[in-house]
Amino acid sequence: MQRQGFAEAVERHPDLSIVSEGPESIRVRNGRLDTAFDVPAGAVERYSWDNLSRVLCGGEERVIAGMTRVVGYFSKIHNWNESKLGELSDRRVGDYAITE
């Protein structure tokens, strides 16, 4: 897939948006999951949109370079311990509506 085609596909997706673009990677944010991914340029060229979108939309557990705000700031999750990953999983399924 070409880089331009990837960027256009991300912008068409209702949950995804491009945060920044650099020569080495494109940072994509998933607003629904409150996560961001650094997608290497090589991955964009190597994989189809179907494969990349499964990862970016949470349908596949493989992480490109996942980041999250669980700790109060954006941090990479690839080296988190089992406990912190469990906390992330719990936060994704919670109901955080404000009620009186």
φ and ψ at 20, to 5 degrees? -160, 160
Which pTM value belongs to this model? 0.58
Q: Which domain holds residue 80?
A: 3-93
Q: How many domains does the chain have?
A: 1
Domain assignment present for residue 18? The answer is yes
Burial (CB count <10 Å: 0-12, 13-18, 19+), residue 70: buried
pLDDT in tens, 28-58: 998 888 888 888 888 888 888 988 888 888 7
HSE (side-chain half, CA atoms, 13 Å) at 53 = 16
Is the predicted pLDDT of residue 17 greater than 90, yes or no?
yes
pLDDT confidence tier of residue 12, bands split at 50, 70 and 90 = very high
Q: Cα(9)–Cα(5) distance, rounded to whole angstroms?
A: 6
Domain assignment present for residue 98? The answer is no
